C-alpha cells in the first residue's frame, strides 16, 4: 500500500512509530494507569498488538507502508473494548479486514465514502426538519418544539458503527494523523492521500450517546436563549423620555444590536445618541443588570441610562436577569468537559475546536492575534477614526463603519430598495442566480448554485446551513422585518449566501466526498465577507469615489482588529473555565466583568472594550 507520492524518510517513519508506541503504551496490560472501570477504552494489551502486526506482515509480505499498518492496528486496539470481542477476535478481525494493496485500499475507501455520504446526508435532513420550528419564523414555540430541536437523530450512530465494526475497519485502514503530522507530511500528499487522512479523522474516540445528547441539549438551550433574546428598540427612552427608534423595531441582541450601532455612523438623525443608548443596553446585557421584564417583551418602556422601567406610564420594580447568560455559557462548558475523558486525540473543547475543527494550533492563533492588535498601526488608525468622527473614541467604536461607502448612504433609502426587491424570503431565493451573475459567476453556474440553495425566513438571526450530501440543498436563513427584507437583513443574507455558495461548491465540486467542506472556518468566513462587502453592487450602487478604494484596506484592518479582540477574549474565557472547572455562573460573571481587561487581554490591547468583546461572543 503506497499512501505517499514521495519516498518515506526516517522522519516520516518516526511519526507513525511514535503514535503506535504511545498508543501501545496506553494499552499495555502492565500500564499502572489501566483500570477496569467503565471508562476503559481497551481490553487489548501491547503483546496482542505486536503479535497482530506480526501476523499481518506474515500474511501480506512486501507491504509498501508497514508503518501505516502498525499505526492502524495500534489505534484500533486503543478503542477495542471487551464488548467487541476477545483478544483473539481482535487479531482475527485485523488480519481479515486489512486492505493490503493500494487497489484494495482504494476500493474500500470508495465503499466507505458512498455509505457515509448516504448516512450523514439523511441524518442531516432529519436534523434540519426537527429544528425548523426553532430556526424558522412561525408560530409561538411549544415545549415539544424544544424537545425535538434538542433531539439528535444520529445520537447512537457512532455506537452502532463501532458495534458493527465499520468504525474499526476504517480505523485499521485509515489511521488518524495528529495536526503535527499533517503539518509535517501534508506537503508531500496527493489529493487521495489527504482524503485518506480525512477518513482517519472520523473515528477518533467519541463520547457515548448519552454524553453527546448532553451536549446537544446544552447547545439547544443556548441557541434558544439567543434566538429569543430581543430588545424592543421602540420602547427605549432617554432621560428626557424621548424614544429615538421606530416603534416596531425589534432587534436580536446577538447581531442586530451591533448592526444597528454600525448603521448609525451614517449621517442620520440622533445617530450619536442612538449609539450611546445601544452601548448602555449592551453593557446591561454583559453585566446582567438588564431588567428581565424587557427581554423580548413590548409591554415595558426602559431607560437604559437609569436602568428603570415603566408599564403604562407607571414605574415598575426592576428584576435583573442576574447571571443566566453565564449559566448558559457554563452549561455549554460542562457539557463539553464531559466529552473530554473520551477523546485521546483532542482532550479539551479548545483542542477539538482548534486542532480538530480548524486544524490550527490555538497557541499559534493567539500569538498571531496579539501581534496584530499590538501593532502601532492600531493607534494610527484610531487617531484617524477620532479625526473623522470629530470626537474622542468610545469603546463601541471598535465597530466603526465609516470606511465603508454605505455608511454615507441613508439606510432608509437602502431599506426601501431591499423591501421592494425582497418582500419575502422566496423573492430573495428566486433572485440568487441574478445576484451571482452580478458578482461575476457564469450564468450556467449561477443557475446551478441557485437551485442548490433554499432561502427561508429565520426566527432568530440569519445563518447558513450546508448540506451533508451532494443531492441535498444548502439552506439560507435570513430575518425579515415587517413589509419585507430591510437593509440589515439583506446585508446579512448576502453574507450567508457567500457561505452557501462555498458550502455547495465544496460539497458538489470536490473529487472525493470525504474532502467536502473547507479546511477551517477562516476560509468560509472570508468567502462570506467577500460577498457581504459587495452588497451595494447588487442594489445598483458603485463606489462613492476613487478615494473609497483606499479606505478598503483600513476597513479590513479595523474589522480584523475588532474580531481578533473578540476571539482573544473568547479563547481566554474558555481557558479560565478549564482552570476553574467548579466555578459558578456568578464567579464566571465576576471574572469577566471585574478582571477582563487584565485577565483576558493583552496589555497593549488599546481601544477595544473587553466587555463588548464578551458580549459579542455570547
Q: What percent of the chain has pLDDT over 90?
A: 67
Give 276's pLDDT tier (boundaries 50, 70, 90). very high
At which residue does the C-alpha cell 477504552 appear? 41
Q: What is the pLDDT of residue 504?
A: 96
Domain ranges of the chain: 411-531
Q: Residue 546, exposed/middle/buried by CB under 10 A (0-12, 13-18, 19+)?
A: exposed
What contacts 289, CB < 8 A, 6 or more positions away? Answer: 283, 307, 320, 321
Q: What is the pLDDT of residue 204?
A: 84
Q: What is the pLDDT of residue 184?
A: 92
Q: What is the pLDDT of residue 580?
A: 97
What contacts 436, CB < 8 A, 6 or more positions away? Answer: 445, 446, 449, 450, 501
Please state, in angstroms and rounded to a whole number, the distance separating the CA atoms of residues 159 and 83: 12
Q: For 557-574, how does the pLDDT look when each residue is reduced to its tens digit (9 = 90+)?
A: 999 999 898 889 889 899
Q: What is the pLDDT of residue 95?
A: 96
Q: What is the pLDDT of residue 463?
A: 87
Q: What is the pLDDT of residue 42?
A: 72
371 close to 232: Cβ distance less than 8 angstroms: no
Q: What is the grid cell recorded at 345?
A: 486525540
CA 245 from centroid of its chain's CA atoms: 32
What contacts 485, CB < 8 A, 6 or more positions away? Answer: 418, 419, 421, 422, 423, 425, 428, 478, 493
Is 411's pLDDT higher than 90? no
Is 28's pLDDT higher than 80? no
Q: What is the pLDDT of residue 16?
A: 39
Q: For 97-112, how does the pLDDT look when each residue is reduced to its tens digit (9 = 90+)?
A: 999 999 999 999 999 9
Highest mean pLDDT among 138-142, 230-234, 462-466: 230-234
Is 8's pLDDT higher than 50? no
Give 17's pLDDT tier (boundaries 50, 70, 90). very low
Measured CA angle at 553 (ends 552, 557), to 5 deg? 120
Strand bridging mode 250-252 / 230-232: antiparallel
Q: For 487-514, how does the pLDDT look when each residue is reduced to its tens digit (9 = 90+)?
A: 989 999 999 999 999 999 999 999 999 9
Q: For 507-559, how does the pLDDT look when each residue is reduced to its tens digit (9 = 90+)?
A: 999 999 999 988 777 889 999 989 998 898 999 887 556 677 678 889 989 99
Question: What average pLDDT does this structure show over 443-469?
Answer: 92
Range in 41-50, 143-152, 510-519 the model is least confident about = 41-50
- Provide the 10 A C-beta neighbour count for residue 425: 24
Give 405's pLDDT tier (boundaries 50, 70, 90). low
Question: What average pLDDT does this structure show over 420-437?
Answer: 96
Give 239's pLDDT tier (boundaries 50, 70, 90). very high
Please state, in angstroms and rounded to a whole number, the distance separating the CA atoms of residues 280 and 274: 10
483 close to 504: Cβ distance less than 8 angstroms: no
Please state, in angstroms and rounded to a whole number, the distance separating the CA atoms of residues 499 and 504: 9
203 close to 164: Cβ distance less than 8 angstroms: no
Is 212's pLDDT higher than 90? no
Q: What is the pLDDT of residue 609?
A: 41
DSSP per position, 67-119: HHHHHHHHHHHHH--GGG--HHHHHHHHHHH---SHHHHHHHHHHHHHHHHHH
Please state, in angstroms and rounded to a whole number, the distance separating the CA atoms of residues 303 and 529: 35
Query: What is the pTM assigned to this prediction?
Result: 0.70
At which residue does the C-alpha cell 425589534 appear? 250
Q: What is the pLDDT of residue 14?
A: 36
Which SS3 state, helix, strand or coil, does residue 270 take?
A: coil
- What average pLDDT does the chain have? 86
Give 7's pLDDT tier (boundaries 50, 70, 90). very low
CA distance to 225, 275, 397, 551, 565, per residue, from 374 (Å)? 35, 27, 17, 21, 11
At which residue does the C-alpha cell 486544524 appear? 359
Q: What is the pLDDT of residue 172?
A: 97
Please state, in angstroms and rounded to a whole number, the distance separating the CA atoms of residues 95 and 117: 27
Give the phi and the psi of residue 501 in degrees, each rounded to 5. Answer: -65, -45
Is 224's pLDDT higher than 80? yes
Which SS3 state, helix, strand or coil, does residue 555 take?
A: helix
Class of domain 411-531: alpha beta
Amino acid at each position: 500500500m503506497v499512501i505517499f507520492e514521495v519516498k518515506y524518510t526516517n522522519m516520516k517513519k518516526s511519526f507513525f512509530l511514535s503514535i503506535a508506541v504511545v498508543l501501545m503504551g496506553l494499552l499495555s496490560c502492565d500500564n499502572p494507569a489501566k483500570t477496569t472501570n467503565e471508562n476503559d477504552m481497551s481490553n487489548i494489551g501491547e503483546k496482542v498488538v505486536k503479535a497482530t502486526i506480526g501476523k499481518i506482515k506474515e500474511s501480506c509480505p512486501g507491504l509498501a507502508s508497514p508503518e501505516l499498518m502498525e499505526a492502524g492496528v495500534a489505534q484500533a486496539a486503543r478503542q477495542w473494548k471487551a464488548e467487541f470481542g476477545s483478544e483473539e477476535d481482535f487479531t482475527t478481525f485485523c488480519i481479515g479486514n486489512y486492505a493490503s494493496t493500494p487497489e484494495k485500499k482504494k476500493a474500500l475507501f470508495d465503499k466507505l465514502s458512498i455509505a457515509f455520504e448516504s448516512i450523514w446526508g439523511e441524518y442531516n435532513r432529519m436534523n434540519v426538519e426537527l429544528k425548523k420550528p426553532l430556526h424558522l419564523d412561525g408560530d409561538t414555540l411549544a415545549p415539544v418544539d424544544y424537545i425535538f430541536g434538542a433531539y439528535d437523530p444520529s445520537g447512537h450512530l457512532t455506537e452502532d458503527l463501532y458495534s458493527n465494526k465499520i468504525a474499526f475497519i476504517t480505523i485499521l485502514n485509515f489511521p488518524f494523523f495528529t495536526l503535527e503530522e499533517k503539518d509535517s507530511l501534508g506537503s508531500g500528499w496527493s489529493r487521495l492521500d489527504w482524503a485518506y487522512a480525512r477518513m482517519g479523522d472520523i473515528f477518533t474516540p467519541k463520547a457515548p450517546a448519552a454524553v453527546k445528547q448532553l451536549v446537544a441539549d446544552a447547545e439547544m438551550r443556548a441557541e434558544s436563549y439567543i434566538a429569543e433574546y430581543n430588545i424592543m428598540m421602540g420602547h427605549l427612552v432617554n432621560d428626557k423620555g424621548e424614544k429615538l427608534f421606530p416603534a416596531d423595531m425589534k432587534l436580536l441582541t446577538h447581531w442586530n444590536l451591533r448592526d444597528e450601532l454600525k448603521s448609525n455612523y451614517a449621517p442620520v438623525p440622533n445617530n450619536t445618541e442612538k449609539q450611546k443608548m445601544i452601548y448602555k443596553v449592551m453593557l446591561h446585557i454583559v453585566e446582567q443588570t438588564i431588567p428581565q421584564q424587557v427581554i423580548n417583551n413590548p409591554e415595558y418602556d426602559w431607560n437604559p441610562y437609569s436602568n428603570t422601567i415603566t408599564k403604562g406610564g407607571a414605574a415598575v420594580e426592576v428584576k435583573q436577569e442576574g447571571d443566566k447568560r453565564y449559566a448558559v455559557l457554563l452549561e455549554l462548558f460542562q457539557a463539553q468537559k464531559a466529552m473530554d475523558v473520551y477523546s485521546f486525540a483532542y482532550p479539551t473543547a479548545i483542542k477539538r475546536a482548534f486542532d480538530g475543527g480548524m486544524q490550527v494550533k490555538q497557541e499559534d492563533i493567539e500569538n498571531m492575534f496579539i501581534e496584530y492588535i499590538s501593532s502601532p498601526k492600531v493607534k494610527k488608525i484610531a487617531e484617524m477614526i477620532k479625526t473623522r468622527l470629530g470626537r474622542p473614541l468610545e469603546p463601541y467604536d471598535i465597530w466603526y463603519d465609516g470606511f465603508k461607502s454605505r455608511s454615507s448612504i441613508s439606510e432608509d433609502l437602502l431599506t426601501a430598495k431591499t423591501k421592494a426587491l425582497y418582500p419575502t424570503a422566496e423573492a430573495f431565493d428566486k433572485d440568487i442566480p441574478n445576484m451571482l451573475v452580478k458578482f461575476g459567476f457564469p450564468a450556467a453556474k449561477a443557475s446551478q448554485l441557485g437551485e442548490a440553495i433554499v432561502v427561508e425566513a429565520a426566527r432568530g438571526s440569519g445563518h447558513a446551513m450546508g448540506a451533508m450530501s451532494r443531492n441535498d440543498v444548502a439552506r439560507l436563513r435570513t430575518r425579515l422585518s415587517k413589509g419585507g427584507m430591510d437593509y440589515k437583513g439583506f446585508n446579512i443574507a448576502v453574507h450567508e449566501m457567500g457561505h452557501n455558495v462555498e458550502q455547495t461548491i465544496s460539497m458538489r465540486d470536490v473529487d472525493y466526498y470525504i474532502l467536502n467542506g473547507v479546511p477551517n472556518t477562516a476560509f468560509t468566513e472570508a468567502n462570506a465577507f467577500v460577498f457581504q462587502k459587495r452588497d451595494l453592487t447588487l442594489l445598483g450602487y458603485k463606489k462613492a469615489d476613487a478615494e473609497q478604494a483606499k479606505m478598503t484596506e483600513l476597513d479590513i484592518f479595523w474589522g480584523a482588529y475588532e474580531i481578533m479582540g473578540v476571539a482573544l477574549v473568547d479563547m481566554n474565557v474558555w481557558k479560565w473555565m478549564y482552570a476553574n472547572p467548579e466555578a459558578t455562573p456568578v464567579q464566571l460573571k465576576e471574572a469577566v466583568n471585574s478582571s477582563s481587561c487584565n485577565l483576558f487581554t493583552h496589555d497593549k490591547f488599546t481601544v477595544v472594550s473587553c466587555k463588548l468583546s464578551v458580549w459579542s461572543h455570547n
